[in-house]
């Protein structure tokens, strides 16, 4: 009988301790930080390296010449589509130099003419006149 009483008291004490234990709440957050400060914009995919002059078309710049952002920092309209020249994209074989974050842009001459070959939506999706399996944006 003494063993049953001791066991019962131990069980009651264990249940009481478990009932008063604090419950941990799981919390998950992602911080992407600030957009890269690049003279001609940055690629719309991680690690968001600076893109060279000529990658983005004029649709990606506001009236004052400021880059509107792409990827997680995109600030355009939901139906936005702009031209890029993917010959300047490392994912398409570009091996030339890339500007560094914080570098200043070189003034463009009046004879500069952008030549785009791909339409993108600012969120990393190529469009080229159809939805490419991504649906309408």
pLDDT in tens, 115-129: 999 999 999 899 865
Query: What are the structure tokens assigned to 110, written together?
Result: 């009046």
What's the domain range around 91? 51-101+113-128
Based on the structure, what is the number of domains in the chain? 1
The conformation of residue 126, written as its DSSP 8-state character, comes to B
The confidence band for 41, taking pLDDT boundaries of 50, 70 and 90, is very high
Residue in this structure with the two tokens 């500007």, named with its chain if needed = 99
- pTM (2 d.p.): 0.69
Residue in this structure with the two tokens 């019962």, named with its chain if needed = 8
Q: What are phi and psi of 70, to 5 degrees?
A: -145, 175
Taking a C-beta distance cutoff of 8 angstroms, is the pair 79, 69 a contact? no
What are the E-state strand segments in the chain? 82-84, 118-120
pLDDT in tens, 81-93: 999 999 999 999 9
34 part of a folded domain: no
88 part of a folded domain: yes
Quote the mean pLDDT of the chain: 81
């Amino acid at each position: 009988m003494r063993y049953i009483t001791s066991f019962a008291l131990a069980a009651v004490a264990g249940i009481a301790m478990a009932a008063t234990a604090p419950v941990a709440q799981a919390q998950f957050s992602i911080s992407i930080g600030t957009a890269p400060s690049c003279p001609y914009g940055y690629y719309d995919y991680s690690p968001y390296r600076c893109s060279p002059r000529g990658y983005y078309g004029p649709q990606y710049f506001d009236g004052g010449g400021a880059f509107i952002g792409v990827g997680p920092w995109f600030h355009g309209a939901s139906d936005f589509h702009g031209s890029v020249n993917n010959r300047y994209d490392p994912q398409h074989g570009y091996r030339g130099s890339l500007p560094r974050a914080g570098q200043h842009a070189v003034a463009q001459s009046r004879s500069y003419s952008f030549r785009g070959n791909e339409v993108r939506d600012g969120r990393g999706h190529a469009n080229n006149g159809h939805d490419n399996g991504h649906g309408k944006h």
